[in-house]
Amino acid sequence: MLIPARVPPHKPVEDEPGAEERLTLCRLAVQGDERFTVSDAEIEREGPSYTIDTLDVLNSRLPDTELFLIVGGDVAAGLPQWREPERVVSLASLAVAQRAGTDGARVDAALAEVRGGERATFFPMPTISISSSSVRQRARAGEPIRYLVPDAVAAYIDEHGLYGGKSTE
């Protein structure tokens, strides 16, 4: 389940297109693939998008569903600074992608600070040299992003001139 943030509390983005546009991009990214779904749970809620609030909503909507929160090691390293991190790991199983360039000792230390953090599961992540910031940078520069994102997403970004890019229309 992809859940775009209404207002990302810790990650400002240059030329941010807005929550509704990001929701549309998520829907385009998963269209035709029944393994994925998109939720507007954070878009519907006012204010910053805190994970704990979203997990509360998901647990009330899906009471008999085991939730997993998948994060990169870089994100897991910041878990102690999150809003109510102990509740986060009590409401969802934390799955941490081991990524090149992330200090494993730093991640372990951060998880040790959070009661329940020791239950996190690590899984290997193949090295993929694509990041959301590099895609946005390419779009901004008018460079192609085809093959970096699904075709429908690339077409939408180009057509609407998202991320400060120049539309080819």
| Phi and psi torsions of 93, nearest 5° | -75, 130
Cβ(58)–Cβ(41) under 8 Å? yes
pTM over 0.95: no
98-134 pLDDT, tens digit per residue, is 877 788 899 999 999 999 999 999 998 887 888 888 9
Q: Give the 3-state DSSP-derived string for 131-162, with helices as H, strands as E and coil as C.
A: CHHHHHHHHHCCCCCECCECHHHHHHHHHHCH
Listed residue (69, 75, 61) closest to 9, CA to CA? 75
Listed residue (106, 41, 54, 45) closest to 80, CA to CA? 106
The residue among 157 and 168 whose pLDDT is bigger is 157
20-31 pLDDT, tens digit per residue, is 999 999 999 999
CATH 3.40.50.10680 fits 19-161, yes or no: no
Res 92 pLDDT > 90: yes
Task: Tell me whether strands 68-72 and 121-124 are parallel, antiparallel or unpaired.
Answer: unpaired
SS3 state at 92: coil
pLDDT band at 163 (very low <50, low <70, confident <90, very high): confident
